[in-house]
Amino acid sequence: MTPSRSAPRRAVVTALLLSALVVTGCGTATKSTSNALPRPTPTTQTPSPSAPATASSTGSASPSSSRVQVVKVEKYGISYELPKGWITIDAKKVLEGGGKNPVMDDLVHRLGIPRDQLVRQFSSVVQTMSVSDGGAVDGFLANVNSVGQEGDVNDEQLKLQLATIGAKASEPEHETTDAGNVTRVAYFLATKVGITIHAVVLAVHTRTATVAVTVAAITAQKAAELADTIEASLKPIPGSGPNL
């Protein structure tokens, strides 16, 4: 795959931006129990009419247990699991967000482009946005989002774009999943609202595209636990996306 110059910016920065913006509008901080789940065991994929349709209602992925739901990124032909109680929100509305948003303002300044241009570019690649049903913890609501684009994103591009927006990242790790090879990077970002976001990005490399699935939480442990579950549950969706 031949990467475009804008590919890593669109995928990685969008994923971090979405996670960061969930800081705002969380209401009063509350404490909740961990939403981490054990790694699911492989199951035979069969049609499930009750599977939640976060990105699309088609596909053949079914949840591995009654405790999880399947999130389908239909455009790019992959799926993954989240805790059953999590809910999906309109990512475009999160991006547009009325009124002043210090996190958005900071990222707009760092990237050097107008806010409306940033929203337009990011809205075209956002696929899913899911948030925890357990309430905010220390002012932050755990969330998972996915963005994608055609082409590949290599390790150096991934690290460069995270550094561009001030994230402190670990060295990339490489795994193999049913959905394709995965580059995993853990990172954290200190925001202007006094909260440090801990996150893990799973860059899923399909045959023709890259899908960045980003997990963000108030602690590195919670982010890593949820990323483990997502990584273990990554599957291709037969008959859809570039996996055809």
Instruction: Could you list the beta-strand ranges (E) of the chain.
Output: 68-73, 78-83, 87-88, 126-131, 143-150, 168-169, 173-177, 180-190, 196-205, 209-217, 235-236
Q: How far is CA 156 from CA 138, 159, 184, 212, 238, in A?
A: 33, 5, 13, 15, 31
Q: Which of 12-16, 155-159, 180-184, 228-232 has the lowest mean pLDDT?
A: 12-16
Of 135, 129, 128, 130, nearest in space to 34 by CA? 135
Residue in the block written with tokens 């009419």? 49
CATH class for the region spanning 7-26+37-243: alpha beta
Instruction: Give residue-wise pLDDT tens across range 164-221.
Output: 778 899 999 999 999 999 999 999 988 777 888 899 999 999 988 899 999 999 899 9
pLDDT of residue 21: 60
Q: For residues 71-89, b (16+ Cβ closer than 10 Å) or e, as one string?
A: bbbbbbbbbbbbbeebebb
pLDDT of residue 46: 25
pLDDT of residue 17: 61
> Which class for 188: exposed (0-12), middle (13-18), buried (19 or more C-beta within 10 A)?
middle
8 A C-beta contact, residue 192 and residue 106:
yes
Whether residue 108 has pLDDT greater than 80: no
pLDDT of residue 38: 31
Whether residue 241 has pLDDT greater than 70: no
Query: What is the C-alpha radius of gyration for the chain, rounded to an integer number of angstroms?
Result: 17
Of 22, 37, 44, 1, nearest in space to 238 by CA? 44
Q: What is the pTM of this model?
A: 0.74
Residues 13-33: what's their mean pLDDT? Answer: 49
Higher pLDDT: 126 or 113? It is 126
Q: What is the DSSP letter of 140?
A: B
Instruction: Give residue-wise pLDDT tens across range 126-171.
Output: 888 898 888 888 778 889 999 887 888 889 988 888 887 788 999 9
